[in-house]
Structure 1
Amino acid sequence: MTRNRLYLFLFLGLIAGYSYVLWESYVRIFNHPFTPCIFKNTTGIACPSCGVTRSVLLLMHGGLTSAILMNPLGLVVAAIMTITPLWLLYDVSFKKNTLYNSYKKTEKVLKTPWIAILFFILIAANWAWNIHKGL
């Protein structure tokens, strides 16, 4: 993936993510039970990322423990949603490639077999926990 394509993808993803968090905040205020998760709507079983948005919302309201218990992946998403816009702005403003270079290094590390297996095991464990909790 080229630098410009990655940065555009991240920018659009951040806009979508922030829009969804704002929309979800609005929906939660009125206790609307809708979930856009196609997997859960089809199977009735929580997907590995079920609860991430609720986790981010809990974190935004200062509920660190509640956010972790809802879905620990929410902390990762919140960190990405906080750091990435600033990093993008820095790279674009100063014509740097620091985010792109970090992306390429991370991509290489994640392709290491034992790291990929560990990552898969952690996601599977989180999924089992989501199902156990009845999300």
Structure 2
Amino acid sequence: MSIKRIVIGFALLSVAGLIGLIYKLYNPMLYNFFPPCPIKHVTGFDCPTCGTQRAAHLLLNGEFKAAFYQNPLIFLFTPYILFWIYLKLIKNPTAKELKLYDKLYGNKALKVVVIIVVIFTIWRNIF
């Protein structure tokens, strides 16, 4: 593993750690510096990410059940998105990394993600 990949991974973890610290220490329901959902504001419907800020705060404070209730997708998509960011930041990926990227983020995978998000969004607005 090259030093460049290690630096990229460390930088990504540092930024995620700082964001995580903010969400751990500050409850989005109590502080106005967290952005509100524009889709919910305009339509009145929950978007796929509604509740993610609250879920992140609860998750980082060990309240897993309450976090899951706010937005269950956080448990699935946070590692998925962080890994995507990591793979995008690599300038000269290896053949193995390219193959993994194609499997996890190619057209077929993207269709599965969209289907999951659409079904989840419909489900959460009905129930």
TM-score range (shorter-chain normalised) is: 0.5 to 0.7
Aligned length: 111
Q: Which residue in 1 is equivalent to 2:45?
A: 45
How many Å apart are 1:72 and its aligned residue? 1.5
> How many percent of aligned residue pairs carry the same amino acid?
20
How far apart are residue 21 of structure 1 and its match?
2.4
The answer as to whether partners of 2:24 and 2:57 remain within 8 angstroms in 1 is: no
Amino acid at match of 1:111: G
* Distance verdict in 2 for CA 1:13–1:37, change over 3 Å: farther
Partner of 1:127: 121
Q: Which amino acid aligns with 1:62?
A: G
- State TM-score, norm by structure 1: 0.54
> What is the CA distance between 1:106 and its match in structure 2?
4.6
The answer to whether residue 113 in structure 2 is matched with residue 111 in structure 1 is no
List structure 1 segments (4+ residues) > 6 angstroms apart after TM superposition: none
After superposition, the C-alpha distances for 1:42-95 in whole angstroms (9 at most, x for unaligned) are 2221111111111122212222222222212222455479x87xxx7xxxxxxx
* Cα deviation code 1:10-60 (max 9, x no counterpart): 5796378447626852x4346x7x852122112221111111111122212
Question: What do you get for the CA RMSD once the two structures are aligned?
Answer: 4.0
Q: In the alignment, is the contact (CA less than 8 A) between 2:24 and 2:56 conserved in 1?
A: no
Q: Relative contact order: is structure 1 or structure 2 higher (C-alpha 8 Å, sep ≥ 6)?
A: 1
5+ residue gaps, structure 2, are none
* Distance (Å, rounded) in 2 between the aligned partners of 1:103 and 1:51: 32
The TM-score with structure 2 as length reference comes to 0.57
